[in-house]
């Protein structure tokens, strides 16, 4: 078998033919669905006449083919592995094809498949070619007219994009509905759903007076889990009108929940399809985090209607054009509806852990990659989250007003088109008059830039000199990097006044909170009229996705944590302080020296707990120690055991020193109020639950009793899950097992709750975790063909249980490799994602490196999907 070959951005050409209108008829059957396609095709004006027509197609059984009504002879076309070529076609013509496909056998969940008996589609990025022969590329945009024929009893509901225009009965107990989508779209935005679904309906009137019907379609037992998604959708629609001037453009907007889905959700035109985990919530089944995630994803998919659908990507290299922008839009929406500083803290904590790791590993790639083997592997944190950070920097650079003007220009100029990242940034440059040439490097250079900073206060001249030096490490295929344009928001906090000092740079007064621009490799900034010695507060709000090193004394960090005017940097100072203490303890653990807690950390925490000046949501974040994964990210070589021991030691030391404070905070934030996912309630719960985690960490009797009570009170899933997790992760087996049993029996019928039940068990930091994973893989609620289950069990174990995944006997690695090998056949996209932890072998000691590489080699010896092949090759390169 030939090795999969990469495709390159530099090879882009417009398609030889475009499709102006697409008519589809689906006659549904689990093992033999018939798809008739009538494509209205014309030659692309920029391409020569006489080129063959090449259509993509995979796993399709061709039954008929005709051009302008004339069936083609066998010598007039050729079927290949990846599609179909018609050797000679007219300038403009009608192509009719009929194919047969088998949705019930589709475990890859790309194309048309079945989930719990219902039919649904997933076409992004290249799934449509598993439905019919088509130019499956985003720069071919057509209007669609789709007829779905199904069994009137089994599939009473037949949905597709746009508006329903006709329906009727057919012989043999069948019926049909025809849908028309008037907006030209690439085929990756096509969708079809058919099944026995129930709906919740609502409506809104847009700013210009269009009445829009909103529907959420679910299985009957989930009808009581749609309120929050519906409310979120309505908020998102309003927000996009108010903030971006964008209105919805059809009479109907539908969301469908499906159990088997590779990703979070999909923005198909007028018919968003959601992983049920990304849409269903109920106070008793979903945590606060899940409620917030649902709100964010519902908004994200809705926002794509403009940033993605009305204006789409020319080719898949431009994926971040729609994803980075849309993530930025959903982040701002969530910040506006919740606690903005906490939203930013959560984003950055996640980003610096997961995206930094990706950018430092063998699969590192630019936000706009220049080649790939399998586009499915590029739905990454880099494309999404780093892409969003770039758009955020752009917005901050040009200012909101110019950004909004640029955005209007972008949507107006490119409406109905498939465009590039240059087109987007070009609009921002025009709207602001700024030169963004150097800034564009953010899109082409992979790797996390590092900034080494130092500064001195000059008493005699009342000046502060800040020196910044940037470098971006080499990444695969990119040995040398150019300096980037890095916006750094900063303040100088006076050590006496404890206030932000006025900033004067090169004679210009900048206020007390300003942005400086690091564009050269090294730059010096001299602030004058600095009346007292300051501590610099750098990279406020995480103004650029970089690692910033500054030689802070621990006292300085404690000072910033207490006095910085920027909430984000107050949190970050605390994290930095904790990291320094953790470094010492990691070293102590490795050297077999007795661990001693840094009293400055204890005092900083005491200050937080006693002042309680902060908003509760921020305080809860400040009291949360950096995760083991984030600590690992900071270490030159990851020692999972030392990290776990050090973090546990810090946590327990704080709990012992501040037990009464934690207890007081817990009690002060108990509430009997009926559950609501409002920011104030969420803040209160977070604070209470952080306090509880400290109390249980030392197995304090009062703390254990409170956790048990909270579990038994069964007030809402946030509290129940936290209590259960603390009990299960404690070493009190006598408490863990009964609680797990009660919970597992109670929720056996609810797949989304069972996912949580799986995750809680396999993330417990005790030596039986791996056996539990194996045992639970045979549990009736587990299934390897359901991505949520795979993530809840295998993904949670490998990603959130470092001490057990990295067992020195290699059993954790073996389990992962076995699963990847099996999933490679069933669902290549999920298999390729799951393998990630093994690709990070270079971060570990030699013994583990060897074990991890051996498992990668074992995977490589299999017949691999392009997805897994690409990742494994990079990991072993
Ligand atoms: N485009 C989807 C989103 O960003 C993600 C997705 C990609 C879903 C590929 C399915 C398949 O919301
Ligand atoms: Zn998206």
- pLDDT band at residue 611, thresholds of 50, 70 and 90? confident
In short, whether 379's Cβ falls inside 6 Å of ligand 1 is yes
Nearest atom in ligand 1 to 323's CA: 4
The helix-helix angle for 701-713 and 717-729 (nearest 10°) equals 140
Helix (H) or strand (E) holding 818: helix 811-826
CA pair distance 283, 673, nearest whole angstrom: 12
- The answer to whether position 111 is within a domain reads yes
CA pair distance 796, 245, nearest whole angstrom: 40
The token pair at 753 is 């709750």
The token pair at 640 is 């999972």
Judge if 438 and 473 occupy the same domain: no
CATH code at position 128: 2.60.40.1730
CA pair distance 802, 51, nearest whole angstrom: 55
What's the distance, Cα to Cα, between the start and end of the chain in Å?
Answer: 20
With the most atoms of ligand 1 within 8 angstroms of its CB, the residue from 108, 189, 263 to mutate is 263
Percentage above 70 pLDDT, the chain: 100
CA pair distance 374, 378, nearest whole angstrom: 8
In short, whether 350's Cβ falls inside 6 Å of ligand 1 is no
Nearest to 679 by CA among 343, 338, 299: 338
CATH code at position 606: 1.25.50.10
Angle at 505 between CA 504 and CA 506, to 5 degrees: 120
In short, whether 300's Cβ falls inside 6 Å of ligand 1 is yes
Could you tell me which residues come within 8 angstroms of residue 641 by beta carbon, excluding any fewer than 6 positions away? 589, 803
In short, whether 120's Cβ falls inside 6 Å of ligand 1 is no
- The answer to whether position 741 is within a domain reads no
Q: How far is the CA of 255 from the centre of ligand 1 (A)?
A: 14
Q: How far is the CA of 376 from the centre of ligand 1 (A)?
A: 10
Model confidence at 372: pLDDT above 70: yes
**Mean pLDDT within 422-436:** 98
Nearest atom in ligand 1 to 261's CA: 10
The token pair at 196 is 């026995």
Judge if 588 and 514 occupy the same domain: no
- pLDDT band at residue 700, thresholds of 50, 70 and 90? confident
**Mean pLDDT within 637-641:** 98
CA pair distance 595, 644, nearest whole angstrom: 13
CA pair distance 179, 192, nearest whole angstrom: 10
Nearest atom in ligand 1 to 322's CA: 4
Judge if 462 and 363 occupy the same domain: no
Please give the positions annotated as active site.
Answer: 301
Cβ-contact 143, 151 below 8 angstroms: no
Model confidence at 612: pLDDT above 70: no
In short, whether 191's Cβ falls inside 6 Å of ligand 1 is no
Judge if 383 and 506 occupy the same domain: no
In short, whether 301's Cβ falls inside 6 Å of ligand 1 is yes
Nearest atom in ligand 1 to 326's CA: 4
Judge if 151 and 29 occupy the same domain: yes
pLDDT tens profile 203-233: 999 999 999 999 999 999 999 999 999 999 9
In short, whether 124's Cβ falls inside 6 Å of ligand 1 is yes
pLDDT tens profile 164-180: 999 999 999 999 999 99
- pLDDT band at residue 381, thresholds of 50, 70 and 90? very high
> What's the pLDDT at 2?
72
Q: Whose CA is nearest to atom 1 of ligand 1?
A: 266
Q: What is the pTM of this model?
A: 0.99
Q: Whose CA is nearest to atom 11 of ligand 1?
A: 124
Instruction: Give the end of a domain, one of 698, 715, 739.
Output: 698
Residues facing 214 on adjacent strands: 202, 253
Closest ligand to C-alpha of residue 278 is 1
- The answer to whether position 297 is within a domain reads no
Helix (H, G, I), strand (E, B) or coil at 554: helix
Cβ-contact 383, 322 below 8 angstroms: no
In short, whether 829's Cβ falls inside 6 Å of ligand 1 is no
Instruction: Give the end of a domain, one of 135, 161, 195.
Output: 195
Cβ-contact 835, 361 below 8 angstroms: no
The token pair at 79 is 């079927």
- What's the number of domains the chain is made of? 5
Percentage above 90 pLDDT, the chain: 98
- The answer to whether position 789 is within a domain reads yes
CATH code at position 540: 2.60.40.1840
Cβ-contact 193, 120 below 8 angstroms: yes
Q: How far is the CA of 264 from the centre of ligand 1 (A)?
A: 7
Q: How far is the CA of 316 from the centre of ligand 2 (A)?
A: 13
Model confidence at 336: pLDDT above 90: yes
Closest ligand to C-alpha of residue 268 is 1
pLDDT tens profile 244-297: 999 999 999 999 999 999 999 999 999 999 999 999 999 999 999 999 999 999
In short, whether 225's Cβ falls inside 6 Å of ligand 1 is no
Nearest atom in ligand 1 to 262's CA: 10
pLDDT tens profile 26-72: 999 999 999 999 999 999 999 999 999 999 999 999 999 999 999 99
Instruction: Give the end of a domain, one of 524, 544, 564.
Output: 544
- The answer to whether position 204 is within a domain reads no
- The answer to whether position 387 is within a domain reads yes
Q: How far is the CA of 309 from the centre of ligand 2 (A)?
A: 11
Q: How far is the CA of 241 from the centre of ligand 1 (A)?
A: 23
pLDDT tens profile 766-808: 999 999 999 999 999 999 999 999 999 999 999 999 999 999 9
Model confidence at 360: pLDDT above 60: yes
pLDDT tens profile 811-863: 999 999 999 999 999 999 999 999 999 999 999 999 999 999 999 999 999 99
DSSP assignment of 388-442: HHHHHHHHHHH-HHHHHHHHHHHHHHTTT-EE-HHHHHHHHHHHH----TGGGHH
For 801, the domain range is 748-876
In short, whether 388's Cβ falls inside 6 Å of ligand 1 is no
Helix, strand and coil content of the chain, in percent to the nearest 5, comes to 45, 25, 30
Judge if 494 and 617 occupy the same domain: no
- pLDDT band at residue 136, thresholds of 50, 70 and 90? very high
Q: How far is the CA of 598 from the centre of ligand 1 (A)?
A: 45
Cβ-contact 549, 576 below 8 angstroms: no
**Mean pLDDT within 467-489:** 98
DSSP 474: -
CA pair distance 237, 247, nearest whole angstrom: 7
- pLDDT band at residue 614, thresholds of 50, 70 and 90? low
- The answer to whether position 185 is within a domain reads yes
């Amino acid at each position: 078998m030939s090795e999969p070959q990469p495709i390159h951005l530099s090879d882009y050409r417009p398609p030889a033919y475009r499709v102006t209108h697409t008519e589809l008829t689906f006659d549904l059957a689990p093992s033999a669905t018939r798809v008739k396609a009538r494509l209205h095709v014309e030659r692309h004006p920029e391409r020569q006449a006489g080129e063959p027509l090449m259509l993509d197609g995979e796993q399709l059984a061709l039954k008929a083919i005709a051009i302008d009504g004339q069936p083609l002879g066998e010598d007039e076309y050729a079927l290949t592995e990846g599609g179909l070529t018609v050797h000679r076609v007219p300038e403009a013509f009608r192509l009719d094809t009929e194919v047969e496909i088998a949705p019930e056998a589709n475990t890859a969940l790309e194309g048309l498949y079945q989930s719990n008996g219902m039919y649904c589609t997933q076409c992004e990025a290249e799934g449509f070619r598993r439905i019919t022969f088509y130019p499956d590329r985003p720069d071919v945009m057509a209007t669609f007219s789709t007829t779905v024929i199904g069994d009137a009893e089994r599939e009473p509901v037949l949905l597709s994009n746009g508006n329903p225009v006709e329906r009727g009965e057919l012989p043999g107990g069948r019926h049909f509905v025809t849908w028309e989508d008037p907006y030209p779209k690439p085929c990756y935005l096509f969708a079809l759903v058919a099944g026995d679904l129930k709906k919740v309906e609502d409506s809104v009137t847009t700013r210009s007076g269009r009445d829009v019907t909103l529907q959420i379609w679910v299985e009957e037992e989930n009808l009581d889990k749609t309120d929050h998604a519906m409310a979120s959708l309505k908020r998102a629609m309003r927000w996009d009108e108010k903030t971006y001037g964008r209105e919805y453009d059809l009479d109907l907007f539908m969301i469908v929940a499906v159990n088997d889905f590779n990703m979070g959700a999909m923005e198909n035109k007028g018919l968003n399809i959601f992983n049920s985990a990304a849409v269903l919530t109920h106070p008793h089944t979903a945590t606060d985090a899940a409620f917030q995630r649902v709100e964010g994803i519902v908004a994200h998919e809705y926002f794509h209607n403009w940033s993605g659908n009305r204006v789409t990507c020319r080719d898949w290299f431009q994926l971040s054009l729609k994803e980075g922008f849309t993530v930025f839009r959903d982040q701002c929406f969530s910040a506006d509806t919740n606690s903005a500083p906490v939203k930013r803290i959560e984003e950055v904590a996640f980003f610096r852990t997961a995206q930094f790791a990706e950018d430092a590993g063998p699969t590192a790639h630019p936000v706009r990659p220049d080649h790939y083997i399998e586009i499915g592997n590029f739905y990454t944190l880099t494309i999404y989250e780093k892409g969003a950070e770039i758009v955020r920097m752009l917005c901050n650079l040009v200012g909101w007003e110019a950004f909004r003007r640029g955005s209007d220009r972008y949507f107006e100029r490119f409406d109905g088109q498939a465009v590039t990242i240059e087109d987007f940034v070009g609009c921002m440059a025009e709207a602001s008059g700024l030169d963004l040439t150097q800034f564009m490097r953010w899109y082409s250079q992979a790797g996390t830039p590092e900034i080494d900073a130092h500064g001195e206060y000059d008493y005699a001249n009342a000046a502060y000199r800040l020196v910044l030096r940037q470098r971006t490490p080499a990444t695969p295929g990119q040995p040398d990097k150019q300096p980037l344009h890095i916006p750094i928001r900063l303040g100088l906090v006076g050590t006496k006044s404890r206030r932000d000092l006025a900033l004067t740079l090169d004679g210009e007064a900048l206020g007390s909170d300003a942005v400086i621009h690091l564009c050269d490799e090294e730059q010096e900034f001299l602030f004058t009229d600095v009346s007292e010695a300051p501590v610099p507060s750098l990279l406020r709000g995480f103004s650029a996705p970089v690692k910033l090193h500054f030689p802070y004394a621990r006292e300085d960090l404690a000072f910033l944590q207490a006095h910085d005017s920027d909430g984000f940097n107050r949190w970050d100072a605390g994290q930095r302080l904790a990291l320094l203490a953790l470094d010492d303890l990691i070293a102590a653990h490795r050297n077999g020296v007795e661990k001693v807690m840094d009293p400055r950390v204890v005092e900083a925490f005491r200050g937080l707990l006693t002042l309680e000046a902060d908003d509760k949501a921020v305080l809860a974040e400040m009291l949360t120690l950096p995760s083991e994964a984030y600590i690992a990210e900071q270490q030159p070589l990851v020692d999972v055991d030392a990290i776990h021991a050090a973090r546990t030691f810090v946590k327990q030391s704080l709990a012992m020193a501040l037990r009464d404070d934690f207890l007081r905070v817990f009690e002060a934030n108990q509430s009997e109020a009926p559950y609501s996912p409002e920011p104030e309630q969420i803040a209160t719960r977070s604070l209470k639950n952080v306090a509880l985690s400290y109390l249980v960490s030392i197995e304090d009797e009062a703390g254990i009793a409170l956790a048990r009570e909270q579990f038994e009170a069964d007030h809402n899933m946030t509290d129940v899950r936290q209590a259960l997790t603390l009990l299960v992760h404690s070493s009190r087996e006598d408490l863990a097992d009964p609680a797990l049993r009660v919970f597992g029996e109670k929720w056996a019928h609810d797949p989304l709750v069972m996912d949580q039940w799986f995750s809680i068990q396999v993330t417990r930091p005790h030596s039986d975790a791996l056996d539990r994973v194996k045992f639970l893989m045979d549990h009736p609620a587990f299934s390897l063909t359901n991505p949520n289950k795979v993530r809840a069990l295998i993904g949670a174990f490998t990603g959130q249980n470092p001490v057990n995944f990295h067992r020195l006997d290699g059993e954790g690695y073996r389990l992962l490799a076995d699963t990847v090998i099996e999933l490679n056949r069933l669902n290549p996209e999920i298999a390729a994602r799951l393998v990630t932890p093994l690709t990070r072998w270079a971060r570990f000691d030699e013994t583990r490196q060897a074990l991890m590489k051996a498992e990668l080699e074992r995977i490589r010896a299999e017949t691999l999907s392009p997805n897994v092949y690409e990742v494994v090759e990079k990991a072993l390169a």
